[in-house]
């Protein structure tokens, strides 16, 4: 925690970061943090909440499992018993601390019972409901209590029996396990996708999770999915044919449910340590699928029930023994410099191809040039590369003892590699950037941001179509979009006359977006969506904003010196002024519709929009509510005053109902607004 951040501020920041990471991992199947990075942040938040009980929050990531189940084409499924999430031990000392806590609660009972040690498969957790031995439903973990039903898709997985074998199963039981892909199956599938001209998947875990959520089970059937079972749940006190975790695994095999190999019944903690060391050093490299550690469970089911669950989500009787992230060594061949939409220059490592975590890696992030200097990375170095689930691998550092003397040091560029403009760097910043707003290197990303839903909301302009327009010489900056004609667009490949007309209509419709949207769309350094609203409401027009002094800008609550200087420099850049003049000439709106009404019908209310409204777009509804004195927020919480719900409202509506928050529809919203 930084010296400046209060515990409350740090806790809030951690919760937001962990929520975003969980959503990316569980819902989008596109991880943004490595397991190790997530675990580190999670533990920091746990420590803060433990040391500062006043920061306790029922909505904290430490109090729930997975991520909220959002609106989708899949039906919701409530698990018989919530699916929990494990605490982690990263070394033998932490594992010993865990056993020490159990001994305080149970005495010698833990030592007598021993432990069941299993692989921690890196896949997607699911529950399988069997009634009278027949598979009746399957669901993803979701938020632990409610998941998404994926029965039709799961029926395509050969490992999962439609009818349990043998005898002795309860009349109703949920079997839990992990859906995954082998490395060989994953690589074969990606090779087939390449031949078909389809995008490849980043890693086996993402591919497996995405396969479960397909609309068409025939698409799921094309994926080489496998399954291992490891747990169960039954309603009430139903009799069970096993008394220990080890017996459970043996019983699952008898019922036709596959179970992961390399499991071990350990009579002591030292035996557990020995198993974990063997697993990490000898077994893991030979496995045909990904694991990120092992799971250690108290073997006796009666003792598991006695130990119970912490906070409704974490079983005391089990813990994940995490391993160090996968590492590999390869050669740093080159460092490329990429130019982002705001002009930031980001270095990227070009590597000799290497297998890490089941995928071939040729590029890795380097973040900034200070990091390169700090790690003393040199071209030609043998470097360590980490890839533990993240989409973009990272260079850990060089292996100095492997140097031959032919390696070359790397310096930060003094000029933009695309337009040759001298780079700039604020004293308070690490990144260097190209200040030229007309830099071709910034063009595509700037256009993509300008047209995005959060900015000018121009539908139908994907990266691919923007690249077409640029390649055809029709667009060089955002103002060129408003000069496009249906005839020009229709002449491009894969553009039909109707789609060309629809795109021109969408571009024209964006002209009415308020000044706040335009400011956000133009990508001013240090100005995000909320800052853009603040500036637009304070100055009212683009002319007033660009004429403001640094002192006038800084006088606004929420605008610091850095942002004030950036906005002032932007507004006085001749290239920017010329661009704004062209946008104004094209009819793009240059003012904010109205300031918030002090005594409006939504004065002081925190409002959440969810689902699709019949006639109002999201941005239009937001503007109306904020113009009437309200504040639109993204998440439902106890602080929410009102929810406006449309079709396919999803989990936000469910949470609002559970919390007793009033919910209205669009007609009622318009009535309250007097429209």
For 87, residues 6+ apart whose C-beta sits below 8 A from its C-beta are 98, 314, 319, 320
Using pLDDT thresholds of 50, 70 and 90, give the confidence band for residue 83: confident
Cβ–Cβ under 8 Å, residues 408 and 380: yes
| 3-state SS class at 258 | coil
pLDDT of residue 443 exceeding 70? yes
The enclosing H or E element of 373 equals helix 369-375
Confirm whether 76 is a catalytic residue.
Answer: no
Active-site hit among 120, 297, 533, 655: 120
Q: Which CATH class is domain 327-409?
A: mainly beta
CA distance 376 to 378: 6
Range 440-512: architecture per CATH? Orthogonal Bundle (1.10)
- 7-67 is a CATH 1.10.10.60 domain: no
Mean pLDDT of 435-464: 86
CATH 3.40.50.10190 fits 606-672, yes or no: yes
Confidence of residue 390 (pLDDT cuts 50, 70, 90): very low
pLDDT grade for 23, boundaries at 50, 70 and 90 = low
What's the whole-number average pLDDT of the chain?
A: 85
Lowest-confidence range among 96-105, 220-229, 273-282, 625-634?
625-634
**140 contacts 72 by C-beta, under 8 angstroms:** no
Burial of 256 (0-12, 13-18, 19+ CB in 10 A): middle
- Name which of 233-242, 282-291, 454-463, 594-603 the model is least confident about: 594-603
Tens of pLDDT along 629-663? 888 887 888 889 999 998 878 778 888 888 889 99
Give residue 316's pLDDT: 93
| pLDDT of the residue at 247 | 96
Q: Where are the domains of the chain?
A: 7-67, 86-322, 327-409, 440-512, 515-585, 606-672
pLDDT at 398 over 70: yes
Residue 201: predicted pLDDT? 65
pLDDT of residue 618 exceeding 80, the answer is no
pLDDT digits (tens, 9 = 90+) for 124-154: 999 999 999 999 999 998 887 888 999 999 9
What is the per-residue pLDDT across 149-158, written as a single tens digit (0 to 9) for each?
A: 999 999 999 9
Q: Using CA atoms, how far apart are residues 569 and 562, in angstroms rounded to an integer?
A: 11
C-alpha 212/C-alpha 34 separation (Å) is 22
Q: What's the CATH number for 86-322?
A: 3.30.470.30
Radius of gyration for the chain, computed over Cα atoms and rounded to the nearest angstrom: 28
Q: Tokens for 467?
A: 């690249």
Closest CA to 229 of 239, 238, 242, 213: 242
CATH fold of 515-585, please?
DNA polymerase; domain 1 (1.10.150)
The pLDDT, as a whole number, for residue 252 is 95
- 440-512 and 515-585 have identical folds: yes
Asked if residue 79 lies in contact with residue 139, where contact means CB atoms within 8 angstroms, the answer is yes
Residues 182, 326: Cα–Cα separation, whole Å: 16
End-to-end Cα spacing for the chain? 49
Residue 202: per-residue pLDDT: 53
User: Which DSSP letter does residue 279 get?
Assistant: I
Condensed to tens digits (0 to 9), the pLDDT of residues 325-366 reads 666 789 999 999 988 887 889 899 999 998 775 568 898 888
Q: How many CB atoms lie within 10 A of CB 196?
A: 7
pLDDT at 461 over 60: yes
| pLDDT band at residue 295 under the 50/70/90 scheme | very high
């Amino acid at each position: 925690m930084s010296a400046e951040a209060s515990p409350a501020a740090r806790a809030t920041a951690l919760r937001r970061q962990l929520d975003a990471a969980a959503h990316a991992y569980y819902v989008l199947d596109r991880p943004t943090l490595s397991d190790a990075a997530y675990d580190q942040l999670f533990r920091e938040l746990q420590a803060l909440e433990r040391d500062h009980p006043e920061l306790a929050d029922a909505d904290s990531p430490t109090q729930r499992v997975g991520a909220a189940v959002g609106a989708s084409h899949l039906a919701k499924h409530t698990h018989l018993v919530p699916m929990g999430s494990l605490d982690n031990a990263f070394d033998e000392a932490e594992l010993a601390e865990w056993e020490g806590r159990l001994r305080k609660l149970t005495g010698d009972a833990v030592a007598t019972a021993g432990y069941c040690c299993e692989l921690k498969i890196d896949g997607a957790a699911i529950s399988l409901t069997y009634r009278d031995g027949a598979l009746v439903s399957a669901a993803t973990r979701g938020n632990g209590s409610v998941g998404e039903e994926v029965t039709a898709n799961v029926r395509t997985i050969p490992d999962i029996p439609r009818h349990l074998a043998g005898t002795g199963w309860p009349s109703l039981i949920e079997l839990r396990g992990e859906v995954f892909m082998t490395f060989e199956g994953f690589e074969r599938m990606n090779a087939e996708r390449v031949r078909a001209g389809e995008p490849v998947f980043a890693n086996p875990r993402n591919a497996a999770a995405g396969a479960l959520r397909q609309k068409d089970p025939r698409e799921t059937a094309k994926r080489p999915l496998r399954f291992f079972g490891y747990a169960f749940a039954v309603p009430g006190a139903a009799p069970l044919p096993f008394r220990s975790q080890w017996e459970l695994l043996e019983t699952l095999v008898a019922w036709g449910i596959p179970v992961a190999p390399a499991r071990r019944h350990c009579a002591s903690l030292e035996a557990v340590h020995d198993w974990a060391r063997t697993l990490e050093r000898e077994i893991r490299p030979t496995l045909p699928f990904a694991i990120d550690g092992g799971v250690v469970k108290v073997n006796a089911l009666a003792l598991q029930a006695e130990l119970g669950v912490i906070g409704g989500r974490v079983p005391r009787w089990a813990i994940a023994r995490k391993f160090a992230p996968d590492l590999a060594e390869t050669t740093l061949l080159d460092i490329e410099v990429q130019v982002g939409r705001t002009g930031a220059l980001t270095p990227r490592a070009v590597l000799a191809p290497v297998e890490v975590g089941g995928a071939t890696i040729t590029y890795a992030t380097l973040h900034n040039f200070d990091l390169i200097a700090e790690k003393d990375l040199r071209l030609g170095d043998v470097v360590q590369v980490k890839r533990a689930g993240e989409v973009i691998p990272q260079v850990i550092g060089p292996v100095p003892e492997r140097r031959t003397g032919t390696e070359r040091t790397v310096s930060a560029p003094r000029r933009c590699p695309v337009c040759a403009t001298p780079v700039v760097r604020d004293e308070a910043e690490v990144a260097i950037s190209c200040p030229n707003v007309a830099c071709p290197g910034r063009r595509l990303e700037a256009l993509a941001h300008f047209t995005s839903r959060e900015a000018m909301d121009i539908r139908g302009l994907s990266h691919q179509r923007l690249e077409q327009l640029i390649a055809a010489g029709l667009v060089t900056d955002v103002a060129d979009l408003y000069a496009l004609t249906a005839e020009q667009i229709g002449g491009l490949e894969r553009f039909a006359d109707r789609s060309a007309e629809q795109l021109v209509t969408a571009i024209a419709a964006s002209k009415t977006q308020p000044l706040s949207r335009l400011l956000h769309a133009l990508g001013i350094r240090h100005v995000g969506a909320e800052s853009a609203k603040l500036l637009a409401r304070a100055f009212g027009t683009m002319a007033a904003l660009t004429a403001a002094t640094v002192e006038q800008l800084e006088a606004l609550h929420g605008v610091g010196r850095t942002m004030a200087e950036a906005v002032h420099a932007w507004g006085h850049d001749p290239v920017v002024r010329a661009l704004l003049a062209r946008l104004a000439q094209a009819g793009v709106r240059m003012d904010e519709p109205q300031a918030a009404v002090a005594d409006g019908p939504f004065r002081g209310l925190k409002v959440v929009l969810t689902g699709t409204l019949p006639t109002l777009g999201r941005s239009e509804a937001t503007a109306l509510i904020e113009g009437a004195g309200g504040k639109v927020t993204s998440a439902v919480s106890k602080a929410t005053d009102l929810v406006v719900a449309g079709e396919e409202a999803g989990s936000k509506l469910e949470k609002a109902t559970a919390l007793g928050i009033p919910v209205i529809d669009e007609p009622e919203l318009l009535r309250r607004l007097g429209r």
